């Protein structure tokens, strides 16, 4: 089964845990709408790539880890789009969840997706109970406070933003969890897996900043120029376009060169380079070597 099908299937399996005739139909529909169709699924792809590189031996647990990471990502998008945050009308080229289902259901869909992320880990860990606590911890730290995506978003409510903590929490945390959880699902606990994800997360944040400046709404499926509009920090603003692209390339090189020892390192390096190329708007991407 190819990676994309595998990710969609594991997300579908997770969502089926939250479905049932006795549940409120709108909430269930909103949860599904928030997850399908997805974006690039870059975090679960990374999670699976790391698990494979580590000699994956518990595919169901890897699937659940990848799904958990993506569910948390989707939950954060649903909440970030709410009127009290970005007040975004569209996401992935169609109405944001709060526009399609109303604000109350959007809040609750985010909540229930967070819960579902942890539940799907618990359900998949039956055969390897010793791996559950560390995996769950990895995922929880990336989602909550003080270092997870909730904390990252909350920095925007502070009068003074600690920029490094803000970006590491808002974007880096979930990438670091994707790599650490992929390794953890395969029984590998080297701290280097976390660092790898942090670097990729920072690269991703820079690519996102670049897209916010140079892309069109049609190209990326959401409004552009939001960072300037909302006075948010942006790497292009800080480093210039060339500077930002250079920093992104350096981060990818460091990530690839500093990989923890694992049986499938070569394939993982290839995966990281190819995903990095997908991040940039086409006219800026370097042709694959």
- Residue ranges that bind its own copies, judged by CB under 8 A: 18-20, 22-28, 31, 75, 79, 82, 84-85, 101-105, 107-108, 110-112, 114-116, 118-119, 121-123, 125-126, 129-130, 132-134, 136-137, 140-141, 143-148, 150-151, 153-158, 162, 165, 169
* 102/221 with CB nearer its own copies: 102
* Nearest distance in Å: CB 81, its own copies: 11
Cβ distance to its own copies smaller for residue 106 or 256:
106
> Which lies closer to its own copies via its Cβ, residue 159 or residue 289?
159
> Do 268 and 254 form a contact (C-beta atoms < 8 A)?
no
| Minimum distance, C-beta of residue 151 to its own copies, in the bound complex (Å) | 5
Q: Using alpha carbons only, what angle is made at residue 56 by residues 55 and 58, rounded to the nearest 5 degrees? A: 150
Please identify, using beta-carbon distances, which residue of 120 and 215 lies nearer to its own copies: 120
90-91 vs 94-95, strand pairing mode: antiparallel
Bridge partner list, 91: 94
DSSP string, 136-165: HHHHHHHHSTTTSHHHHHHGGGSSS--HHH
Q: How far is the CB of 1 from its own copies (least distance, A)?
A: 25
Smallest gap, in angstroms, from Cβ of residue 231 to its own copies? 15
CB of 161 to its own copies, least distance (A): 9
**Under 8 Å CB-to-CB from 47, ≥6 apart: which residues?**
62, 65, 66, 69, 178, 179, 181, 182, 185
Cα–Cα separations (whole angstroms), residue 129 to 58, 122, 142: 12, 9, 21
Alpha helices by DSSP H, listed for the chain, are: 3-17, 25-35, 42-53, 59-80, 97-101, 103-124, 129-143, 149-154, 163-167, 173-185, 192-214, 217-220, 226-229, 235-257, 265-279
* Identity of the residue, 105 or 268, whose beta carbon is nearer to its own copies in the bound complex: 105
Query: Count of alpha carbons within 13 Å of 153, Cβ hemisphere only?
Result: 18
Nearer to its own copies (CB atom), residue 15 or residue 262: 15
CB nearer to its own copies: pick between 143 and 235: 143
> CB of 9: closest distance to its own copies in angstroms?
20
- β-bridge mates for residue 94, sequence order: 91
Give the nearest distance from C-beta 278 to its own copies in angstroms. 29
SS3 for 91? strand
């Amino acid at each position: 089964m190819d990676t994309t099908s595998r990710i969609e299937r594991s997300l579908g399996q997770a969502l089926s845990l939250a479905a049932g005739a006795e549940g409120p139909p709108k909430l269930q529909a909103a949860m599904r709408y928030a997850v399908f169709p997805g974006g690039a699924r870059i975090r679960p792809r990374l999670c699976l790539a790391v698990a494979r590189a580590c000699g994956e031996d518990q595919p169901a647990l890897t699937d659940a880890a990848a799904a958990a990471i993506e569910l948390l990502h989707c939950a954060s998008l649903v909440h970030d789009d709410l009127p009290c945050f970005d007040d975004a009308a569209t996401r992935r080229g169609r109405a944001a969840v709060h526009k399609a289902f109303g604000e109350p259901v959007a809040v609750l869909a985010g909540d229930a997706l967070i819960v579902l992320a942890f539940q799907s880990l618990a359900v998949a860990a039956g055969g390897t109970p010793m791996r559950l606590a560390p995996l769950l911890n990895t995922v929880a730290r990336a989602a909550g406070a003080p270092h997870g995506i909730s904390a990252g978003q909350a920095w925007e409510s502070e009068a003074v933003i600690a920029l490094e903590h803000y970006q590491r929490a808002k974007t880096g945390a979930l990438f670091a969890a994707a790599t650490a959880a992929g390794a953890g699902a395969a029984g590998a606990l080297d701290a280097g897996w976390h660092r790898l994800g942090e670097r990729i997360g920072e690269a991703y944040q820079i690519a996102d900043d670049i897209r916010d400046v140079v892309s069109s709404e049609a190209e990326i499926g959401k409004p552009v120029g939001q960072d300037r509009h909302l006075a948010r920090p942006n790497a292009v603003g800080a480093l210039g376009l060339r500077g930002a692209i250079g920093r992104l390339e350096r981060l990818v090189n460091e990530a690839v060169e500093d990989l923890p020892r694992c049986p499938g390192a070569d394939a993982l390096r290839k995966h990281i380079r190819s995903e990095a190329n997908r991040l940039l708007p086409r006219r800026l991407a370097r042709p694959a070597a």
